[in-house]
Structure 1
Amino acid sequence: MNLSSLYPWTKAVHVLSAILFCGGVMAVSAFLWSIRRNSSGAVGVAAALRRWDHAVTTPAMIFVWTFGLGLALTGHWFNAPWLHAKLFLVVALSAAHGIQSGRLRRIANGKVSTSSPLLPMILISIVGITILAVIKPS
């Protein structure tokens, strides 16, 4: 089996991982958005979301990075400006995941989180990443 025959499988795993990662980040973001004014009863939901984050979202993020870098190497795209822009947005989305994970941990431990939600930045990142990945503008 040569490297080029693995490309479609690498891309499929990358896209599936990206869907799981973005879905997990969006779920936590929606939860954090919904409790910013009323956090009563949030501890149990935060604990459940935190388990999901550890079991699914974080491994999906690692797969996105691993298989995405593999695709970039295979496609020889590291000099492409669109990839630099996409990587910037992926770093921002990964950072948002880390920030949200910390907030989720604090809420699951009974501490109130009044910090501003990251939902707008997350949505912009996901839209930008998707457009850049599909269109690959020169």
Structure 2
Amino acid sequence: MTDILADWYLWTKALHVISVIAWMAGLFYLPRLFVYHEETVKTGTDTDDLFQTMERRLLRAIMNPAMIATWIFGLGLVMTPGVVDWSMLWPWVKAASVLGMTWFHMWLAARRKAFAAGTNTLSGRHYRMMNEVPTVLLVLIVFSVIVKF
């Protein structure tokens, strides 16, 4: 198995990067949709239905598959011999940050359900502030992987 992982390392890494980019795009965009949905749309209108459709499709068709692919290819990289030195700090920082990113994804999915049920109680300002979470996690992940502190 380790020979296969080593042979496919560059392909796995490329697919991991592509998956991360798609996932991050959704993690940045969905909270912005929530800001506009909360601040400009009345519940039960055609525009409300349109926003709910956009939010649902973004989450289900792009973000969920991208998150799953990110995890699959990322775990493939972790299992490739010689790629991760667990005695260093960087893989632990990355792992914690990826778990945080996954939590944020699930939080967004719960917020989408609240909009669909007409029970959203959070403000546009709250969504704007939460939109910074993936940025902070992204910075931690990139620095930990590139600098390998």
> Normalising by the residue count of structure 2, what TM-score does the alignment of the two structures yield?
0.80
- CA distance in 1: counterparts of 2:48 and 2:95, whole angstroms: 33
Residue 58 (structure 2) aligns with: 52
Tell me the equivalent position of 1:4.
6
For structure 1, the 5+ residue unaligned runs are: none
> Aligned pair in 2 of structure 1 residues 80, 66: CA closer, same or farther (>3 Å)?
farther
Q: CA deviation at 1:31?
A: 1.3
Q: Give SS of 2:85's match.
A: coil
Q: Answer whether contact 2:37 2:48 (CA < 8 A) is retained.
A: yes
1:66 to 72, 79, 90: 72
> What residue identity is the alignment partner of 1:130?
V
CA deviations 1:47-66 (Å, max 9, x no partner) are 22212211221111111111
Q: Which letter does structure 2 place at the counterpart of 1:52?
A: L
Alignment of 1:27-42 (within 5 A): 27-40=29-42, 41-42=47-48
Contact 1:20 1:56 (C-alpha < 8 Å) held by counterparts: yes
How far did residue 7 of structure 1 move? 0.4
Length, aligned pairs only: 137
Aligned to 1:87: 95
Letter in 2 for 1:78: W
Q: 1:105 aligns to what?
A: 113
Q: 1:65 to 1:106 in 2, by over 3 A?
A: same
Note if contact 1:106-1:112 (Cα within 8 Å) is conserved in structure 2: yes
Q: Where has structure 1 moved over 6 Å in runs of 4 or more?
A: none
Percent identity between the two aligned chains: 26
- Which consecutive residues of structure 2, in runs of 5 or more, have no partner in the other structure? none
2:142 alignment counterpart: 130
Cα offset, 1:90, TM superposition: 0.8
* RMSD, matched Cα: 1.9
TM-score between both structures, scaled by the size of structure 1: 0.86
User: Rg: which structure is higher?
Assistant: 2
Which shows bigger deviation, 97-106 or 126-135?
126-135
* 3-state SS of paired residue (2:119): coil
Deviation string, structure 1 residues 63-121 (Cα, Å, up to 9, x no partner): 11111122122113333310101111111111011011111122133333415321122
